[in-house]
Chains A and B, each alone.
Chain A
Amino acid sequence: MLTRQWVHGWLLLMPALTFIFLFTHIPAVVTVWNSFFSTARGRRPSVFVGLDNYERLINDPVFWKVLSNNLWFALGTIPTSIALAIAMALFVNRQFLGRSLVRMAYFTPTVLPLIAVANIWLFFYTPGFGLVDQILGAFDHGQTNLLGNPDTALAAIVVVSVWKEAGFFMIFYLAALQAIPPQLAEAARIEGAGGWTIFRRITFPLMMPTTLFVSINAVINSFRLVDHIFILTAGGPDNASSLLLYYIYETSFRFWDTAYGATLTVAMLALLCLLAIGQFFLFDRRVHYK
């Protein structure tokens, strides 16, 4: 009986696990392996080069640049999109005329492909006749060149990412909010607590599991979401808005340097593992064993 349960259990898992291992775990391990070899080019086959690729990584200023960009990008997108998501959820959780319109507005970015809306943002950011400059121009402000300036290009990319993500996260918070018993807030209000206190002492702590879940999603997206960079800046100026995954793409699929691409991927995996230790298991304990 016990063994039969085992066999059934394993059989149920088998199809999904096969694919998950085939396209996630095994490639991750093979990537590490490949990072010790050189890239094959035409007549020159791939050879074992030991730590050469890692030496190159350490001496590659572009790598350090995109790494720090990615950390700033994460710092810029994650807290902002979560804060906005909570605000949106609080707004939409109330009854008012046009509520579903507002909710839909928040959610539209999730439905639109980022690669396509990037062209719209390109127009918004265009110096001179772009929307941002038209609006600023009405206040007698001169031209801006947000995407063409290394100091602002990454921030401009962050804004698009926040716009893309906040509405999606709002849905999770909305679900969380509606699960909180209204009596709690009632009781607090009777005791004279204001709106901000209720949020800080009751609502926010009760939504903690959602925040953890959402923040994991946000962290992953900050490494995964690079579609708009293709259109908006192509990583420029001078890599000021390039992110790790975009650099991996360039190295592997434009420069055809797959071995170095693998090495960069290992760096990304290492970073994710660090985050996993910090965050993932916290999330695991708080939510899945509850």
Chain B
Amino acid sequence: MTMLANLLKGAAAAAALAISAAAPARAVDLQFYFPVAVGGGAAETIQALTDEYMQLNPDVKIDAVYAGSYQDTITKVITAARGGNAPQLSVALSVDMFTLIDEGLILPFDDFIKTEEDKAWLNSFYPAFMENSQTGGKTYGIPFQRSTPVLYWNKAAFAAAGLDPETPPATWDEMVEMGKTLTRRDANGNVTQWGVRIPTSGFPYWLFQGLTTQNDAILANADGNETNFDDPRVVEALQYLVDLSTRHEIMEPGIVEWGATPKAFFEGQAAMMWTTTGNLTNVRANAPFDFGVAMLPANKRRGAPTGGGNFYLFDGSSEEQLAEAVDFIKWITGPEQSAKWTMATGYVAPRPATWDTETMKAYAADFPYVLVARDQLDHAVAELSTYQNQRITQIFNDALAAAITGQKDAATALAEAQAQADAILAAYR
């Protein structure tokens, strides 16, 4: 009888133990918003990585929400946060950092970086990507889906024009010279192939920032409250861009559409194009000719902006949740995970450690052009980002469009844009 009682007691205790073990010691629920800005299986890859993390950490539950475009995501995050139910973490444009700080929505990562190991992790990203992620001595963003523009060239067109198909232009002057050789006209003088294509629709500031950086100008300060649009070096860069169409006649005049750019390249409409590294996979799959990928040409120096999205940490959750969110970010930016992400999407892996993995080495050996973007990071600067970022960039975009379409000269357009930006940013100084 006592034996049975003991047995029952033991069974009960075991059951209780089993239950308490099943009930996680620290069950954490996280919500995570992410945008998708490239074709292919980006959303599936994020979901798969999240699932993998949850398998490794059964006490954590992460709800990964595909929020649409970058624009949708930022809207959704701001709306949810204002309504008091912000996600714990979200991927959003790195340039939205000041906006999110201004709205009082995000937290610096520094409070969660305690150990030496954590510190080493924070320092393990390419400095070019961190420029857009830090302000006032604190880190607000962790680079994740980042990109940079590169130059693609059509080797067949180069050969047909009598140029060395393996040598892309290395300087502004070379680009003009080669562009002239590559621009072809039919008997009536109508252009059948342009030398170069730098798209200027929608968000022209991004590729233009390549030119300003190469001309050794920085568009905005690190505090995000001062722009240098009227810097003579910026004016010079804009004049160079305008001259490509008007003086040298090697680029399509007027605003050049971003969305149609890869197709124009495939169709042989342009022998060189500037566009994001995010197009590598697309070009590799669809270009009906041999192509090359190079860093953007240099003028006073080499240079390019970075682009894309960072992880942000949102205010309004428990310390425990936030600590877990940081753990998740640490994991997903780990070399193997990051390698999977880079190969699935074409984004530039943001840590040198990722490039040292066997997976990435094999990938780069098979397709060396993926290394161009990485190597260009040594010359890259922060993407233009300020307080009231969308409005400031729109003012800048409008000025660029006005100069490109010949409504204003470069100096006037940029001086006006600087005055408008000053009026808005004065409140943040």
Residues of chain A at the chain B interface (Cβ within 8 Å): 41-43, 62, 122-123, 126-130, 137, 140-143, 145, 147-150, 233-234, 236-240, 250, 253-257
Is B171's CB within 8 Å of the partner chain A? no
A/B pair count, beta carbons within 8 Å:
103
Binary per-residue interface labels of chain B (67-82) against chain A in the complex, 1 for a CB within 8 Å, 0 otherwise = 0000100010010000
* Given A141-B190, A233-B201, A238-B407: A147 and B255 interface contact (C-beta under 8 Å): yes
CB distance from A57 to the nearest CB of B (A): 15
Size of the chain B interface, CB-CB below 8 angstroms: 41
Q: Which of B264-319 touch A at CB < 8 Å? A: 264, 267, 269
Is B49's CB within 8 Å of the partner chain A? no
CB distance from B84 to the nearest CB of A (A): 15
Which of B101, B189, B260, B388 interacts with A142 by CB under 8 Å?
B189
Residues of chain B at the chain A interface (Cβ within 8 Å): 71, 75, 78, 99, 101-105, 188-191, 194, 200-202, 252-257, 259-260, 263-264, 267, 269, 388, 390-391, 394, 397-399, 401-402, 404-405, 407
Contact B257 A147 (CB under 8 A): yes
Contact A148 B398 (CB under 8 A): no
Contact A42 B103 (CB under 8 A): yes
A123 to chain B: closest residue by CB: B260
CB distance from B429 to the nearest CB of A (A): 15
Contact B104 A122 (CB under 8 A): no
Note all chain A residues with C-beta closer than 8 A to B71. Answer: 254
A233 to B200, CA, bound (A): 11
A129 to chain B: closest residue by CB: B267
Which of A147, A149, A239, A256 interacts with B398 by CB under 8 Å?
A239
A182 to B412, CA, bound (A): 65
Contact A145 B254 (CB under 8 A): yes
The 3 lowest CB-CB distance pairs between A and B, nearest first, are A148-B255, A148-B254, A237-B401
Contact A237 B75 (CB under 8 A): no
Contact A42 B102 (CB under 8 A): yes
* Given A128-B269, A237-B401: A149 and B391 interface contact (C-beta under 8 Å): no
Contact B260 A126 (CB under 8 A): yes
CB distance from B287 to the nearest CB of A (A): 15
Note all chain A residues with C-beta closer than 8 A to B78. Answer: 256
Contact B390 A254 (CB under 8 A): yes
Contact B259 A122 (CB under 8 A): yes
Contact A236 B75 (CB under 8 A): no
A122 to B263, CA, bound (A): 12
Note all chain A residues with C-beta closer than 8 A to B102. Answer: 41-42
Contact A142 B255 (CB under 8 A): no
A240 to B102, CA, bound (A): 31
Which of A122, A236, A253 interacts with B260 by CB under 8 Å?
A122
